[in-house]
Amino acid sequence: MKVLTSLILLFCVLNVAYPQHFTNYTNTDIFQAIAIDSAGNKWFGTNGGVLKFDGTTWTKYTTADGLIQNQVTNIIIDNKGVIWCGTNGGVSKFDGTKWNTLLNNNLIANFGITGVAIDKQGNAWFGTMQERGLAKYDGVKWNTYTEDSGLVENNIKSVIVDNNGVKWIGTTNGVSKFDGKKWTTYNKESGMIGNRINIVVVDKENNIWFGTNNGVSEFDGTNWTGYTAENGLANDRVTAIAIDKKENKWFGTYTGEISKFDGINWTTFKPETTSINGKILTIAIDNKGNEWFGTNDGTIMYDGTRWIKYKPVDSLVYNNIKGIAIDKNGNKWFGTDNGVSMFDGTKWINYSTVNGLTDNQIWAIATDAQNNIWVGTMKGGALKFDGTKWTNYSTVDGLAYSYVRALAIDKKGNKWFCTWGKGVSKFDGTKWTNYSTANGLIGNEVIAVSIDKNGNKWFGTLSGVSMLDSTGWKRYTTENGLTNNRVTSIVVDSLGNKWFGTFFNGISKFDGKIWTTYSTANGLPDNHIQTMAIDKTGNLWVGTTNGLSKFDGKNWVNYTTANGLANNCINTIMIDAKGNKWLGTAGGVSRLR
């Protein structure tokens, strides 16, 4: 009887040192793809880039290094050792030195890749979702295949090439077999156990194995055999399959359970034994016969006796960044959709509901004169962190509403909390004062706040802009010159000009008298403005849903993932004392020097 043991190894990732303007910091907890090269190096496609593990050192590659997109869904290695990576934004190749991106095909450019296969002739085959179908690339020319060509369904989940060079395409509505000329469709009517295919693999006898939401189907070219929980499969929702040198089949499931099938007997491994948390996304087997399982929470290696877990440590807690603050010590604080991360330049410390937060979904973050960290959440109100303890402020204390979208701190130390639906709350450390449309605020859905050098507070809402000064409230809408009433961001420059970013109509600049509009017609990459900041030299930095823009008053310069940005959706910008731009994106943090 074998004794099964489980180990957890936390690892640090080495960021490759290339000469570049961007440095990316991403969470890589989700291991979505695994490939193993001839030297035994493991290559992992994650939610935050590609990781290479040589058995000792972990190395990360992101868009800053040349990868087209950091959400890597597929990895395959061709017979020349080139690494092919399918991402949510296209395909990149890595020859060990340089990354190259395949950009010249409308099918895969900017669309998610769900399957990658290389045939014996060196042709690359790419499956996509979003009704885009299948693409073939021979190194020069592209061919596209869709339902019009004979493909059973344009939404593809898996692509393989069998021992005879035949292509098998698993889709959300059955399987297509393509021999280069003829298309053949297989589905439940043909004998398959289910039509929604998650994974396709081939064994050395050229039998094709399909993992579906209803179990496993094996096809020998003539006959179909189905396997379900009734036969010994751990769970019918099979998300990953691999075959070892002894022809044992390994099945990973949605529930995190693993089944091994030797052709006669089934062995099941439960999460309590394996330490797997969440579903199995991928499986690979190395040249020593160890099984590697990619999960939502790191990767697990099984050597036949021990289950060893590898999970990144010292990393960002989550990749969707909503707010950034910098404290007096230069530490960067990031509010995310799954907690707060603090980065001191070397180490990361993460905070969640486990260690003091009332809600992990953070919308706003700021620091006060005492170096306390203030946080606005989606459901848990506001919090203060004094370096030791988190203190919560809720509607019971006087906060207008528990959903805080933005916050700012004035020179007197008053905290201004913008809520979604109940207006603005001011907190002086003792007393709460609430403002709403009943008091003069133009709208109760408040998204942005900025304080000018005179102490006036400017609030961006879904109904326009409100300004609060010593005399009361003033309001500005499209009737005054604002380009759109849905205002997402506000900054004030050194000359006192107010800049208003809007949802769909670009930016409005207001000098106190004249309104000026800037849009894609002027050079912006997108009219949906998420955030803005102004550096020491007066440049305006704009985060949009389609990249970053710098405006020096005359010219616009745009940056995207093609330049090294972690993700094109920029949610927040903060500039440190050295002039570095810290960009919170939907795909991690980018620092621009």
CA distances for 460 relative to 270, 361, 472, 487, angstroms:
51, 21, 16, 5
How high does pLDDT run on average in the chain? 94
Answer for the pair 44, 85: CB distance below 8 angstroms, yes or no: no
Q: Note the pLDDT of residue 106.
A: 58
CA distances for 118 relative to 38, 72, 84, angstroms:
16, 17, 9
Tokens 């020069």 map to which residue? Answer: 140
Q: What are the respective helix, strand and coil percentages of the chain, to the nearest 5?
A: 0, 50, 50
C-beta atoms surrounding 470 within 10 Å:
7
pLDDT tens for 181-200 read 999 999 999 999 999 999 99
* pLDDT (mean) for 357-368: 98
196 residue type, one letter: R
What's the rounded Cα separation, in Å, for the pair 441 and 451? Answer: 16
Q: Strand, coil or helix: what is 473?
A: strand
Which of the residue ranges 10-24, 34-48, 52-66, 86-100 would you say has the lowest mean pLDDT? 10-24
- The pTM of the full predicted model, rounded to 2 decimals, is 0.93
CA angle 337, 340, 341 (to 5 degrees): 120
pLDDT > 70 in the chain, percent: 95
Closest CA to 583 of 283, 320, 389, 395: 320
H/E element, 435: strand 432-435
pLDDT tens for 240-253 read 999 999 999 999 99
Domains and CATH numbers, the chain: 1-77+303-315 (no CATH), 78-302 (2.130.10.10), 477-593 (2.130.10.10)
CA angle 40, 207, 201 (to 5 degrees): 45
Has residue 14 got a pLDDT over 50? no
| Residue 572, C-beta contacts closer than 8 angstroms, at least 6 positions apart | 321, 322, 323, 324, 530, 531, 543, 583, 584
